[in-house]
Structures are given as structure tokens and as C-alpha cells.
Structure 1
Amino acid sequence: MEELFGRDAECRRMGALLDDARRGLSGVLVLRGDPGAGKSALLDHLQATAATEFEITRFDAVESEAELGFAALHQLLRPYLGQVPKLPDPQGEALCQVFGLQERTSPPDRFLVAVASLSLLAARVGDRPLLCLVDDAHWLDEESAAVLAFVARRLYADPVVMVFAARDGADGLDHLAGLPQLAVPSLHSEAAGELLKSVVPGGLAPDVRDRIVTSTGGNPLALIEAARELTADQLTGQAPLPEPVPLGQALERIYLREALAMPPMTRTLLLTAAADPTSDPQVLWRAGRELGFDVTAAVAAEQGDLLSIRETVRFRHSLIRSAVYYGAPLSERARVHAALAAVARGLGEIDLCAWHLAAAATDPDEGVATELERAATRTRDRGDWTGSSALLARAASLTSDLPVRARRLLEAAEAGAVAGSSGRAQALLDEAAAYQEDQRHNGLVHRAQARIHRLTGSPASATFALLTAARALGPVDNRLARDILVEALVQAQISGTLAPQGATRLSVAETVRSLPLPAEAPATTGDAVLEADTAVHLERLDDAGPKLHRAITAVQREDSTAAESLQWLAAACSHATILGDDIALHDLAWRLEAEARRLGAVIPMALALSHTALSELIAGRLAESERLFDQRAALEETRGSRIFLGALLIAAWRGRAEEAESLAEAVREHASRTGQGYQLVFCDYARSVTELSRCRYHEAYLALEDHMGDTSQLKFALADMIEAAVRSGKDDEAIELLHRLSRLAAQTPVPGLLGDLARAQALTTADTSEAETLYLRAIHHHENTRGPVRGARSHQLYGEWLRRERRSKEARHQLRIAYELFDAMGAAGYAERTEQELSAAGDPVRPSGGAPRETDVLTPQEARVARLAAGGATNAEIAAQLYLSVHTVDYHLRKVFRKLDVRSRRELGDLRDRIASA
């Protein structure tokens, strides 16, 4: 093992990762530093240290492979692909598809590939821990970088260490943000001097040493290369040093001079190796047959330490590869790529063949461009959107026909956006937008711009761009324009109250009205969705109601598995909440979840989990709602972000007022930063729950005062708001809200709304006999609703009314029913309010024993695992829901058992109610 100078702290940090892995825990680290700072040397040292105990997989990324999607992932997972059959079918199929081992009709979602990669690494065969090394990570292709970052974030109790080395300040590092980082600075003067002495074979004068150290700034690679460049006389001080000392950008020139000093056939071999993204020796030798070199040409290159050829072809440093490639004449590069294209064709690698043909082309060539376009389609179907974008961009560069060139650039931009490369996608789109002779093309440019905005987390900008696209496309393609408007509708829903003028749901509605469906055109489900939402915003809800119901029915009957069905389902979920239809919301939300899961589509899955969690919340199934919100939060964490809305809503219903207040601040900050205004509405709803459960009626009313218009998605809280208005003396407001609820229940006569109406009428009537009849009617309807919460609230308010009517015995009966329902569902705030009423009615609730809350000692992740385990989920099911490995779930569960002093899942289940409040 070569000695490292001045890197004791870095070695200790990396050694601690190995120690953790020996104990069964995972670790991740990103080494960041300037070119030549010694990152690769640290990886080499770590690899040598772990060689006897660890299984090691390593990938050195290179610039030429940055456009080959999943290339790095394939290299790293190749040793474990034999375990793919052990993965769940959708995961195994996704991996096989992106690695070209299996074909499907649609590209796999990157998220599903990421989950599969996590499962594969966690379930690999072998007792030894795994060390995964990635050098020059800034050159990782977009897909591999996203997947590897996902895996790094979700491994925990697995003996896997992942270490990335990346150039500081380089592009392409967004996915690694948030992972543990370690800066690798230049060496301090003493260590730099020691390193310099170690690489100088003869004498080294102290003043020369100090001059070189100062000139190189202690950069290890610059030190080594300066020593290689200087003569013995210069190093000993017998001859003057050059001015300046060769370093920095001169490194590439040094490498180029070294390459140019090689024999002609060795130079050709070096250029071929630099041009070949596969780094496969067999490809190199096959190309050599046509280019005139064989294995003997490699001798000088290996003796000069420019590259090594073993299982793969590896340059000593990535700068050597860059210098060799870009330092060669264009004609030589074209000749080498032509030879590599022939090799790829012979190996059946038709897409790689097209890539090399493009690199060999020096003039526009429609034949090559067409081949590239076909290759881009095949590449896209494997889920390699980065590669597809690169191929289309190159096809465009070889296209002389302006409309065709613009189309290819636009498609390249769209593929880049799907790949997650917002900067590259924007650059390609700007180039495509320069062609403005075709109105359809102009509209599609705006649609692509919207997708880039969505990628960068700007839903309002996305909505505005989609509306612009629809208006441009309307006169030339009405069908496409209206389909885009459905997409705009969903984005506007996300923006909610934060949407600026011109990007609101009203703006969408006005645009829909300006682009009516032609009389002869068949209406689609999307059209029904659009017309319903438009009616909500441009007409009264009373008039829009039938259209909303028809749209929901159309979506429910839709059997299509097309991508637009996800948009339809998401929009219909919103429509169900506008109508207060909890039954339709439940059906639509779970259909959206099932379809998103089937497709492995991460963004629709996030939407689905939000809707399903809300559906369970308003039913009072708090444990199930919390499970879904946990899964939503875990999904966000896999993307390097956090979301607090679910935790806020659960805290409010659990009666944890201080926690809810703190979480509300986090929700408001996140909503403002991301433009997700819908979160602010539900933030106010959470406040209303907290205040109403504490009998702070005026505050509860104020929380919802601005959220009960026709377009409100909080119709399920109308009865609560009427209660708050009545109890705070706002009688006129209560009556107006009652009329609104009455009209809504007439349009949507589901048991939940009918019961809400009866309860609200009971609250507002002065007739004692009528009030009792209405309370009993509310209880009857609410016995037929999904979940216990509405029934519990009706029993509670009836009991409170009975107590005020001095009918204490009957009051105690109703309040006891309400208390037991609230207590069973974990709604501690409302349970406490009911408990106080019971006590006032002469039936105090016996204390539970005052045991401390066990979950105070659990971490958030442990609490999530505990809740699922207490609910009966297996470790594998928990892992799937929280996007963890089974080993990690087992680790957390063992800690839960120890902290809560339980010995079995049955005992854990006995604590389920208290765990649910964590």
C-alpha cells in the first residue's frame, strides 16, 4: 500500500466507515476537492485497506459515458445481476429493461429502478461487507447518479459503504447534495514536501522543494507531475527552474506531450481507448485490426504509465484521456470513431454504432441522423433518457433541414427534462425555440418549458407555460391543446393560493373556455374533467355540480392505462373534495395509487399518497392515514427533500398542539419555498382541528374563514366551521354556511354530508324537539360513513347538547360512546374535550395509569417502523412502504423492542395506540 502524506484525518474518517460496516451498518461519503487533490489516491488507499475483508466494486466515471444512461449503475451492479430473479417482478423487470436485458412497451420509471437497485445491494449473496467506490462522480450519467444517491440515502443497517469522489465546483453533483461530505484540500507544506521527496528518485534541494510546493499550492497531482517534468539538475538546484513551474492547466499539455512522444501505433491505441466509452479491451483489440495496432502497441503506453489494460482499459488519470482525445486532429478522431462503429455493428450494439457514426461525421448527414433518431427511440424505451437526449441532439447537429432540426432539438430537450438535466434541457430548448416558423412547434416548445419548470420545482411557472402552449396549439391542434390544459389544471392545483395572476385555476378555466371542443370532435374523459373544473370557476357550484359528478363517473369508468389517466385521476380527486364526496375520493385516490405503483411513477405516487392519506384522515382512520403520510414523507426523503404536512395533520388530530404549531411553521416555509400553496390551506385546516378540539371556537372559525368558497377542497370541514361559528356568536355566518352545506348535500347525498347537514341544522335550530331529531338523524347517517370520526363528533355534540338540557344520564351515554371512539382512533384532542364533558356530566374517565409515552424515546424512523409492525406488516412489507432494506427494518425493529421493553410483535401490537401517537 502506497503511503499517503498529510491525509491522517481523511483516512480516519474513511476507516470509521469500514468499522461501521464491520458492525453491520452502512456508510456514505462524498470526497470533494480540486482536480489532482488526491481523491483517487484516497479511494485507492481505502480499496487496499478493505481488500482482505470487503467485497469491492468500483467504477471510475469518464466524461464520454456521461451521456450513456445507467452506464455507471450497470458497471457497479454487474456482479450481482444473478440475484435479479429474487427481486419482486416489477423491480427485476425494471433493472433488466434499463440494462438492455429485457424489452417492454414503455420505459421504466427511474424510481422503480432505484428501489430495485437498493433491494439488489441489500439482498446480495455473501457474508463480507461491500465497499462501493465511484471516482470522478461528476461524470456520472444523470440516471446512475440519481439511483446511486437514492441507494446511499436509504441504506442504514446494511454492511455497505459507498464512497464517491467528485471534482469540487463541477456540474452534475446535484444528486449528491445532502450526503455526508468531506473536503479534500491541498496538502500543507510539510506533507507536500514529503510527497515530493518520495517521488523524486535522486536529490532534491530544500529551496527547490519549497519553490515547487509554493508554486503548486500543495496540489498532490501537480507536485507529482512537476517532479516528472523537471530534470535532475533542476531538482538538485544545479539548473534554474522554469518560470512558471509547470502545473494547473499545464497538466493537460504535459499529458498530451507524453502521448505525442509515443510511437505512432501507440498514439492511435491511446486515442481509440479514449474514444471508446465501454473501456472493454476486446473492443480495443477489434478496432486495432482496422486501425493497424495490436497488443504490442500497448507496451509503451503501459511503460509510460499512461494507461493499464486488465479487465478494463483504465487511464492513469481522467485528464490523460481528455488530453489524448481533444489533442488529436479531428480527422484522426473521425477515423477512430468509424472503426469503433464497425466494431459495435459487429457486436450487435446498433445504438453504440450510431453514436460512433455520429462522432465520425464531419458534415450534415441525414442518413446518420436518422439512425441516431432511431437509436434514441430504442434508448428511451430502456429508460435511458440522458442517452436519448444526447443522441437526438447529435442528430440535430447533423441535420440541415431546419424544421427537422428544430423538431429533433425539441425532442432532445424533452428527453433531457425527463432525465432530470434541467440545465442541458434548457440549453437545447433555447436552441429549438430559435425556429419560430411553425405554430405547432412553438406550442410544443412552451410545453417542454413547462416540464423544465416542473423539474425545477416551479409549479406556477409550469402552469403559465402550459397555458401559453395550449393557446398556441389551439388553432392547429385542439385535441393536444386541451390535453395540455389537464396538465395545467393539476399544476395549478399544486400552486393553490400561491399561484400568481395568469397561472391560477381560474386562468386555466378561462383558457378552456377560449378553446372549446369542436362539435364534430369526440369528447374524452379529459374533456369531461376540463369542463367540470371550468364550470366550478366560472359558474356557481350549484350549476357545476352535475358536470363534476359526470367527470368523476367518466374517470371511474375509464379503463385506459395511458399516461394521461394519472392526470385525470388526480384532477378527479380534487373534484371529489370540492363536492365533499368522501366515497368517490376514497375510490379515486386508491385507483391513482394503484396505477402509479403499477407504473412505478414517483410524482403520481406522491400525489396518490397525499390523496389516500387525506381520505383516511377525514374518515378518522388515523393509523392508516399516518401510515400513508409516513410513506409520502419517506418518498420525499428519497429525493433529498422533506415534507411536513402529513405530520402536521396527524399531530393536530392527535391533540399535540405545541408540536402542530412547530410543524405548521415548517409547512409554511416549505410551501413558500416550493410554491406549493395547497399546503397552506391544509395548514389552516390543521389549526382549526387543534382549536376546535380545545373549544377555542373563534380561533377555529378564523382558521377556515377564507377557505370555504365554491372551489374549496375542505368541504368535509363545513360542519365543523358551522359549529365554530355558532359557538363564537357568528349566527349570520353560521346560517350562510348552513345554506351552502344544504345545497352541497342535495347535490352529493352521501351519508357523510347528509349527517353533517343534520348535525349543523341541530346546532342552529332553536327548537329543542327538532334539535334532538336532527342529532339522531346525524348519528344515523354517520353510522353509514367510512370510518368513525363523523359518528364520534355527532355523538359528542349530541351529548354536549343533552348535558346543557340537564339530561345528564342520556348525556353520559352519548359522551361515553364519543369518548371511546375518539380514544380508539387516537384523536386525543377530541377525546380530552369529551372527557371534560363527561366529568361535568358526573362520569369522569378513569386515569389510564399515567405511564410515560413510550414513543418519546423512539426516533422518527423507529416510530414509523414500529407503527407498521404494530399494525401487522412484515419486515418485507415495511421495507417496501418506507423504501428501506429489510436489514434496516430489522435493525430499527430490534431497537424498538429494546426501547419499549417488548419481546414480540404481539406485545408491540398491544402498544399500538400509544405508538400511533409518536
Structure 2
Amino acid sequence: MAQRKRGSENAGLLGRGPECDLLDQLIAAVRVGESRVLVVHGAPGVGKSALLDYAGSSATGMRVLRAVGVESEMELAFATLHQLCAPLLDRLENLPEPQRDALKTVFGMRGGTPPERFLVGLAVLSLLSDASEGTPLLCVVDDAQWMDRASAQVLGFVARRLLAESVALVLGSRQRSQDLLGLPELEVTGLNAADAHALLASVTHVRIDQQIRDRFVAETRGNPLALLELRRELAVTRTAGGFGLLDADTLPGRIEQSFLARIEGLAEHTRLLLLIAAAEPVGDPSLIWRAAERLGVTPATALASGTDGLLELDVRVIFRHPLVRSAVYGSAKEEDRRAVHLALAEVTDVQADPDRRAWHLASATAAPDESVAAELERSAGRAQARGGVAAAAAFLQRSVALTVDTSRRAERALAAADASLRAGDIEAARRCADLADQEAQSEFQRVRADLTRGHITFAAGFNNEAPLMLLAAAQRLEPFDMDLARETYLVAWGSASFGAANRDSLLAISRAMRDLPAPEGGPRALDLVLEGYALLITDGRSAALPALRKAKTALTDYPVQDFLKWGWAACGVSALVWEDRFMPGTPARAVEAVRAAGALSELPIYLHALGIPVSLSGEFAAASALVAQSDAVADATGVPMTQHTRLLLTAMQGKEDEAAALIAATIEEAGASGQLNGVASAHWAAAVLYNGLARYGLALPAALATTRSANLIVSQWALPEVVEAAARTGDDTAARGALEGLADAAEPCDTDWAQGILARCRALLSADDAADDLYREAIERLGRTILRPELARAHLLFGEWLRRDRQRAEARAHLRTAYEMFVSIGMEAFAERARRELLATGETVRKRKNGASASEELTAQETQIALLVRDGLSNPEIGARLFLSPRTVEWHLRKIFAKLGISSRRELGDALPPAPAAFPGPG
């Protein structure tokens, strides 16, 4: 440690031995092929930048990339990221095409559809990984608290996924920002008393009383910059006596006051030069001098007496400390700031840097100005095209404030509300929507403001208000834009049926949908879904079936951009008509469409929609892989998702402890946030779990609670659970009521799934001869579906019935079939139930584990990677799916090979369960 300390002192870092030691360890780990991330945070002036400089100087033999967050650039999307990645842009061609195009788009190198920031994050991860192949890489970002939001989100994404690359990412920040929470961190505090006294002595050339020295150290809390600056501020005689020490104030304020005193002592033209440099974030000396010339400032007049060390003018213009920039800009008169921004706007190339020019113009404008507002609107469009949604929202909000014409202000406020909502700023979106409503000059503008408010309410959480707000907006939109009205109706219906709205809301929406005029040019998929959903609620399933069946077929071919708007609400069509083989098709295609469009924030919705039918088909390895992929996407997007597939999967597997804990947590959390769809899924999972465990007294209330849900699909799937649990507990009323509801839902649908489930449930409540025939019908029909768990449960119930009817020989055959199926699927609780029944017939049965064998040792992420490799995907393709670099995929693959006892990708096919043929795999 002493040696480390001496090294740090030689680098000018008095008292920073432990911090330098940590940075040395970080550099050493990266040299041997590992990745490291560190957020260095602490108060202004405490020495963060010095530590980042130490890391850069210590990284001999490594490539060092640097970037600095600039306060005035916080509204320019990807500004900090571009600084960091600019030296690597010659390697873009090494990236997969979607990632390459994403980076070129956000950096303004090409046009195209704006990529989601998660695709940009994956592209940056791949770029850094590629750049580190030959030489370890150190990325240093200082003043990270002033990064633009888009850059902060991308770098936070990258930091959480660095693993097996030779890359270090070190960020210096005043505080822990939301986008960097949870990353490894180093808090830098003031120097200890001894080192603080030593630093003070090194810069003080007169004797100061010991008590005064002690007070200096105590009041600065050992902050190095404060110690260096405060001694400048006070005359020697006042310092010696202690009378001139500052009273209590924030430490940054004290340091800034010191800088202000030095600024005030400069010549007028020098101060103006500092203000120009403070307002110009790039540090381009040519640009700064051209702006200075417009204001009558020349190098001779500005630098005649120097800048007192506050500003360095070289290849770049650099302030001594970020607080100098803050002090200069904050202390300037408003009219001086506007004049400086106007000069900078006039010398900024409108072709090369139109957005920074627009921002300068906005800062120079005190009153509404249509030309500047229009410039900002165009900048918002460019930001949006690059995927900088937060930047687009900021540009549009400022554009609204500068707009003269009220009608145009309403349009821009609507655009600002939409951009703010997509950027996740709910409150700003609501303010802009309210302003749009106030400024609206037409009914269409007022309706669109109401529509935006409906979307805001829906985005803020499932609740009873959003469906009716969206219904009202859809009705008012009809005279103006029928296509938008139809899309709004479907979103309203989806929010009511899958959210928290009561059945009266769903009925009102369905009636309005039913009364829509016939679409011109024939019905599209959207129109068929609307018709089917409406008739389902207003006229019943028989009336809805023709439209729903047509919709099921039409959804196999749809425009991706349209489907991205409302597709989540259409994924239930096949389930509502009990079409098991079609049920995975729509979400599987949606997964590919959403991924191809780069709309990754939507992906967990469709992965869940695919995970449910995959689980119901008994393909648990594939379902687990989908859960892992959904988790990866949710983690990347920061959008929490109710664990629908995980709930069902753990319940079907019979993992009591894990499932019960997840069920309880979901009911509590989803219930508290009003997401009653999650509560319904949890109750359904509980019913499946406890029926498997033969705890029918617990299964029945959970199943009954599910049937009362507004979710039409889960409530119908819970009815067989009610029948089974009620039949076993002797609650004939509940059993008969559930059977009647199931008949209403399934009987009109002449599919093997519907008729097989219905026959199985009728058998449970039938007399001897009828039960025998019904069980055999159920087994025959369910045997023609992809739903192996339902078939196995039919064998189990028939076997249980046969044993109680003393037909032991045939009972053994069905119970053995059920047991073998449950074991092969991985349904432990149901398998144990079948085993106990077999024992009761007098047959000896040993407990057996399911057939996954060695693959059980794989983690969920390893399983996902193994399945994708088995299906023929390359490491870069897998990385793109799971938000990992190809090198990290390879690192996981080595662990997978070791666990499975194999040595090549070709051997995975034999080591894993076979790929299901009934639906597309998880990739």
C-alpha cells in the first residue's frame, strides 16, 4: 500500500493511495481479459477528475477513449456518446448490419428509422468489444452528471453487460445518477486531516496560526480544490487572524465564490471571452474566436493580462474546473448571455451543426419568435430520427414556448406531449397535453389532446380511468381520422380486458366498436379483430367466432408498423377461439417483427404472449429461455414486467416454494399498482400449483378469484381448475357453475382443445358410464393438440377415476402414462400425484427426475444461449438477442460445454431436449 501511495503522490495525488490502488487493480484485470466498470463520485473539487487522469496515465499499452459531459449539451442526444465513440467509427463495418445502421443513424451519418436506445446500446457494446480484440480498452467519462440522457442510458446499458471483454468503463460524477445506479462505485471524500494540512502547507507561503489551519481543513472537509482556492480568496492578514473565513455555505458555493472573485478581477473583454467559452460546449477555439470577433473581442484585448489560470486556450478550450464554467455563466447578465448565444449561433455552420445552432438561437431569444421555434421543431425531427426522444422532447418544449401563433403552438404542444411520453417524462407530457387543449383552435386538436391524455393515463399504470378516456377519444376521432379512431378503440378494449377496468367499461367499449361503420375497401386484420372482440362481449362467442377466425388468419400477414401500435391487444385471438396450434403463431411473428423494427421496449409483451402457449404445450426448456430473454430485455429497458410466463411455468413445474413466493409477491405488487391482470395471472398460477399438489382447498379459491377477472382469456382458462378443485372438495355448486361457464366459452368452438377440455371436465361431474366415455373422448381429442400437459392431466384424472371404480389394471395403464408424461415434461407436483395413485393400485414406482439430465445444471441464461446455438445462431446473432457481446456469449458457451461434458456446438443437439416442432423457437 505504501508503494501505491508513493505512486499516487508522484502523480500529484496526495493522500489518494487506496483510490489509486483500486484503479490499478481495475487496469490489471482488464489487461488479462476481464471487464470492469467503476463510477467515481463525490463533491465538486474533491479530486474525481485527477483520479480519472491517473487511470488514463496508468493504462500504458492500452487504448484510452475520453469524453466529458457538458451542462449546456444535455439536450443534444448522444453528444457525450459521440465524443467517446468517434475514434472507433472506422470499425463500424465490423458490426452486424442492424447495429451498424443504429450507430450511423444516431450519429447523423445516415437517415432511416430511429433506432431504440437499447439497440444503440448493443451496438456500442459490440463496438467496444471489437475495439478491444487486439488492445485492452479504457473508456473514461468525466462530469457524467452532465451527460445527455440518451448517452447516459446507453452507457448505463453497456456498463451492466460488460463481462468477458478487455474493456474498462470509468465514469466520474458528482452524484449517483438514475442511469448509473447499481454499478460498482467509489465514493471520493475529502482528504484526511494530515494530508489536508500537508496540501494547505504546500500552497501557503506565509505562516498561518494552527487553529486557523484546523478551521480551514474542518470547514472545507478536506476538499482539495476548496483548500487551493479559499487561501487565494483571503488576504494574509485576515487569514492569519481567522476573521475573514467564510460563514457556513455549501462547499461548491464556497469554491464558486472563490472563482467569482477571480473572474471579477479580470478585464471586461477577458470576462466576455470566458462567457463565450462557457456557452460553447465543444471547446472549439476557432468557433469561440469567430463569435468573440462579432462581439468586438480580439486575442489582444482578451488575453493582454491573461486569464488567471481559469481558462486554457490550446487545441481545445478548457476551463480549470467545471465550477469555473458554472460561475462564469451563472454570474453573467441575462442580456450578455443572450448576446453571446446569438454570436455563437451566427458562426455555427447551419449545415454541419444545425441542432447546436438552433439551441443557441433559442437561448438568445427572450420573446416568442416563429423562425426560432421552427428551427427547434426541425431539430426535434432530426433528434427523433436519430432516436434521441428525450432531446426531441426538449427541443419541442422550447419550441412551444417560442411559438407565436396559437394554432401552431397547439400542434407543437401535442408533438411535445407525445415525445415527452415516449421519453418517459409523464408530468411534462401531461403539461404539454393540457397546454395543447388550452391553445387548441379546432375540435380535432382538442380531441388529440384528450387522446394523448388517455395514453398518458394508460402509461402511468393500468387503472379504471384509461379505458373510458380512450373510448371517449376514439368516439370523438371518428369524424376526423377513422383509422386512428379504430386503433384507439382496440387499445381501449385491450386496456379494459387486460387491465383493471370493470366489465361495464368493457361492454361500453364493445358496443361502440360494434356500431362502427363497415371499413371502406374491405376489412383488414385490425377491423376483423375489432369486430370479433366487440361481438364477443355484446352478442356472445357464437356470434364472434366467424370474425375472430378470419382475424386469426389475417394476423399472419400484417404491416409491421401498424401492428406495433396495437398488436399486443390482438395476440389473444387464437386463445379466445381455442386454436392451440395457431396460438403461438401471432406472438412468435410479433417477436420477430418487433425485434426487426428495433422496438425492444415492446418485446417483453410479446415474449410473454409467446411464453404462455409454449408453457401450455409442455416445452419448459423453451419457456425458461423465453423468460430469460424477457428478463434481459426488461432489465435493458428498465420497464418492469409482470412475470406471467414465470408464474405459470413455476406452477406447472410444481416448484412449491419458488412458485408460492412469486405468486404472493405478484399479488401484492401488481395489486398495489392496479395491474389486476398480474393479480389474475398469479391466482391462476396458484390454482394450477395447488391442483398439482392435490391441495384442492387452496386451489379452489384461487381459481374462483381468476374467473372473476376482466381478463377474458385467463378467466376462461381457470374454469377447468375450478371444476377439478370443486369436484375434489365436494363443492357441487361451484363445480356446476364453472362447467356451465366453460361450456359457454368452449362449446361453440369446435376444436380438439375446446372439446377435449370440456369432455374432461364433464367427466369429473358425470356418472359411471358417461364419465368413462367422456374421459376417453378427452384423451382422444387432447392427443391431437400440442398441449401435452392437458393430455397428461386427462390420463391422470381417468386413472384416478378408474382406481376408485376398482378397475385397477386399466387405472395403472393411464396412471403410468400420466406419470411418464409428467416426468418427461418436468411437472413434478403432478408426477408425484400420479405416483401416489400408482402406489395405491399396488404398483411399485420409484421417484424419477425429468429427462433434462445434465441440462438442468444450466442457468436460465445458459439455457437460452444453448438453445439458440442448437438452433444454428452465431455468437453475434445470439448477442443481439440477449444484449451481450459475442465474446461474452463465447465465455458462457465454454461454461455450458463444461457443464454438459461436451466440446463442440454440434454436440448440443444431443445434450439438450429436442426442439419443439409445433411453434417457432425462442430465438
The verdict on a shared fold, with TM-score over 0.5 as the criterion, is yes
Whether 2:794 is the aligned partner of 1:785: answer: no
CA contact (8 A) 2:226 2:255 kept: yes
Q: Which amino acid aligns with 1:628?
A: L
Whether 2:695 is the aligned partner of 1:691: answer: no
- Select between 681-690 and 571-580 the one with higher mean Cα deviation: 571-580
**Partner deviation per Cα, 1:229-261 (whole Å, 9 max, x = no partner):** 2344555x2795355499642543443443454
Structure 2 Cα separation of the partners of residues 811 and 677 of structure 1: 41
Corresponding residue number in structure 2 for 1:627: 625
Q: Which amino acid aligns with 1:760?
A: C
In structure 2, do the counterparts of structure 1 residues 263 and 719 end up closer, same or farther at CA, with 3 Å as the change threshold?
Answer: same
Corresponding residue number in structure 1 for 2:101: 93
Task: Please give the residue correspondences for 1:162-173 in structure 2 after superposition, counting only pairs within 5 Å.
Answer: 162-168=169-175, 173=177
In structure 2, do the counterparts of structure 1 residues 281 and 525 end up closer, same or farther at CA, with 3 Å as the change threshold?
Answer: farther
Corresponding residue number in structure 1 for 2:63: 55
Structure 1 Cα separation of the partners of residues 160 and 466 of structure 2: 29
Whether 2:420 is the aligned partner of 1:419: answer: no
Corresponding residue number in structure 2 for 1:304: 308
CA contact (8 A) 2:462 2:495 kept: no
Structure 2 Cα separation of the partners of residues 56 and 712 of structure 1: 57
Corresponding residue number in structure 1 for 2:776: 776
Q: Shift in Å at residue 819 of structure 1?
A: 3.0
Structure 2 Cα separation of the partners of residues 903 and 76 of structure 1: 39
- Select between 800-809 and 598-607 the one with higher mean Cα deviation: 800-809
Whether 2:63 is the aligned partner of 1:65: answer: no
Match of 1:249, SS? helix
Q: Which amino acid aligns with 2:750?
A: P
In structure 2, do the counterparts of structure 1 residues 895 and 207 end up closer, same or farther at CA, with 3 Å as the change threshold?
Answer: same
Corresponding residue number in structure 2 for 1:46: 55
CA contact (8 A) 2:647 2:681 kept: no
CA contact (8 A) 1:212 1:245 kept: no
Structure 2 Cα separation of the partners of residues 186 and 326 of structure 1: 26
Corresponding residue number in structure 2 for 1:764: 765
Name which of 338, 359, 363 aligns with 1:359: 363
CA contact (8 A) 1:458 1:675 kept: yes
Corresponding residue number in structure 2 for 1:725: 726
Structure 2 Cα separation of the partners of residues 442 and 345 of structure 1: 39
Q: Which amino acid aligns with 2:131?
A: R
Corresponding residue number in structure 1 for 2:826: 826
Structure 2 Cα separation of the partners of residues 909 and 580 of structure 1: 32
Q: Shift in Å at residue 101 of structure 1?
A: 0.8
Q: Which amino acid aligns with 1:271?
A: L
CA contact (8 A) 2:102 2:119 kept: yes
Name which of 577, 590, 606 aligns with 2:604: 606
Whether 2:326 is the aligned partner of 1:322: answer: yes
In structure 2, do the counterparts of structure 1 residues 240 and 706 end up closer, same or farther at CA, with 3 Å as the change threshold?
Answer: closer
Whether 2:659 is the aligned partner of 1:660: answer: yes
Task: Please give the residue correspondences for 1:22-41 in structure 2 after superposition, counting only pairs within 5 Å.
Answer: 22-41=31-50
In structure 2, do the counterparts of structure 1 residues 248 and 363 end up closer, same or farther at CA, with 3 Å as the change threshold?
Answer: same
Q: Which amino acid aligns with 1:762?
A: A
In structure 2, do the counterparts of structure 1 residues 676 and 883 end up closer, same or farther at CA, with 3 Å as the change threshold?
Answer: farther
Cα RMSD (Å) of the superposition? 3.7
Q: Shift in Å at residue 617 of structure 1?
A: 0.9
In structure 2, do the counterparts of structure 1 residues 486 and 228 end up closer, same or farther at CA, with 3 Å as the change threshold?
Answer: farther
Whether 2:128 is the aligned partner of 1:121: answer: yes
Task: Please give the residue correspondences for 1:327-338 in structure 2 after superposition, counting only pairs within 5 Å.
Answer: 327-338=331-342
Q: Shift in Å at residue 6 of structure 1?
A: 4.5
CA contact (8 A) 1:592 1:604 kept: no
In structure 2, do the counterparts of structure 1 residues 647 and 477 end up closer, same or farther at CA, with 3 Å as the change threshold?
Answer: closer
**Partner deviation per Cα, 1:520-544 (whole Å, 9 max, x = no partner):** 8747654544454444445544555
Task: Please give the residue correspondences for 1:138-149 in structure 2 after superposition, counting only pairs within 5 Å.
Answer: 138-149=145-156
Corresponding residue number in structure 2 for 1:569: 567
Q: Shift in Å at residue 69 of structure 1?
A: 0.9
Match of 2:340, SS? helix
- Select between 120-129 and 293-302 the one with higher mean Cα deviation: 293-302
Q: Shift in Å at residue 634 of structure 1?
A: 1.5
In structure 2, do the counterparts of structure 1 residues 86 and 256 end up closer, same or farther at CA, with 3 Å as the change threshold?
Answer: same
Match of 2:140, SS? strand
Structure 1 Cα separation of the partners of residues 842 and 542 of structure 2: 46
Corresponding residue number in structure 2 for 1:741: 742
In structure 2, do the counterparts of structure 1 residues 566 and 9 end up closer, same or farther at CA, with 3 Å as the change threshold?
Answer: same
**Partner deviation per Cα, 1:75-101 (whole Å, 9 max, x = no partner):** 122222222222222222111111111
- Select between 666-675 and 375-384 the one with higher mean Cα deviation: 666-675
**Partner deviation per Cα, 1:364-423 (whole Å, 9 max, x = no partner):** 322232232223223222222223222222322222223322332332232122223445
Match of 2:108, SS? coil
CA contact (8 A) 1:447 1:469 kept: yes
CA contact (8 A) 2:852 2:912 kept: no
Q: Which amino acid aligns with 2:379?
A: A
Q: Shift in Å at residue 226 of structure 1?
A: 0.7
Structure 2 Cα separation of the partners of residues 314 and 184 of structure 1: 23
TM-score, normalised to structure 2's length?
Answer: 0.88
CA contact (8 A) 2:552 2:574 kept: yes
Q: Shift in Å at residue 149 of structure 1?
A: 1.2
Match of 2:352, SS? coil
In structure 2, do the counterparts of structure 1 residues 568 and 914 end up closer, same or farther at CA, with 3 Å as the change threshold?
Answer: closer
Q: Which amino acid aligns with 1:744?
A: A
Structure 2 Cα separation of the partners of residues 188 and 433 of structure 1: 58
Name which of 184, 194, 211 aligns with 2:198: 194
CA contact (8 A) 1:590 1:612 kept: yes
CA contact (8 A) 1:285 1:294 kept: yes
Q: Shift in Å at residue 446 of structure 1?
A: 3.9
Corresponding residue number in structure 1 for 2:280: 276
Q: Mind listing any 5+ residue stretches in structure 2 that lack a counterpart? A: 1-9, 917-923
Whether 2:589 is the aligned partner of 1:591: answer: yes
Structure 1 Cα separation of the partners of residues 454 and 126 of structure 2: 34
CA contact (8 A) 2:209 2:241 kept: no
Q: Which amino acid aligns with 1:369?
A: A
**Partner deviation per Cα, 1:568-620 (whole Å, 9 max, x = no partner):** 32112234334433334312211221221121112321110000001111111
- Select between 7-16 and 467-476 the one with higher mean Cα deviation: 467-476
Structure 2 Cα separation of the partners of residues 514 and 851 of structure 1: 52
Corresponding residue number in structure 2 for 1:402: 406
Q: Shift in Å at residue 707 of structure 1?
A: 2.3
Structure 1 Cα separation of the partners of residues 203 and 115 of structure 2: 50
Match of 2:649, SS? helix
Name which of 496, 508, 511 aligns with 1:510: 508
Query: What is the total number of aligned residue pairs between the two structures?
Result: 901
In structure 2, do the counterparts of structure 1 residues 754 and 177 end up closer, same or farther at CA, with 3 Å as the change threshold?
Answer: same
Q: Report the identity percentage.
A: 38
Q: Shift in Å at residue 860 of structure 1?
A: 5.6
CA contact (8 A) 1:576 1:582 kept: yes
Structure 1 Cα separation of the partners of residues 218 and 490 of structure 2: 62
In structure 2, do the counterparts of structure 1 residues 880 and 436 end up closer, same or farther at CA, with 3 Å as the change threshold?
Answer: closer
Task: Please give the residue correspondences for 1:550-569 in structure 2 after superposition, counting only pairs within 5 Å.
Answer: 550-556=550-556, 559-562=558-561, 564-569=562-567
CA contact (8 A) 1:286 1:343 kept: yes
- Select between 411-420 and 794-803 the one with higher mean Cα deviation: 794-803
Structure 2 Cα separation of the partners of residues 471 and 682 of structure 1: 31
TM-score, normalised to structure 1's length?
Answer: 0.88
In structure 2, do the counterparts of structure 1 residues 410 and 37 end up closer, same or farther at CA, with 3 Å as the change threshold?
Answer: farther
Q: Shift in Å at residue 189 of structure 1?
A: 3.5
CA contact (8 A) 1:509 1:533 kept: no
In structure 2, do the counterparts of structure 1 residues 795 and 319 end up closer, same or farther at CA, with 3 Å as the change threshold?
Answer: same
In structure 2, do the counterparts of structure 1 residues 873 and 321 end up closer, same or farther at CA, with 3 Å as the change threshold?
Answer: same
Match of 2:170, SS? strand
Structure 2 Cα separation of the partners of residues 906 and 7 of structure 1: 52
Q: Shift in Å at residue 514 of structure 1?
A: 5.5
Structure 1 Cα separation of the partners of residues 847 and 297 of structure 2: 88
Q: Which amino acid aligns with 1:356?
A: H
Q: Shift in Å at residue 142 of structure 1?
A: 1.7
Corresponding residue number in structure 1 for 2:815: 815
Match of 2:567, SS? helix
CA contact (8 A) 1:262 1:300 kept: no
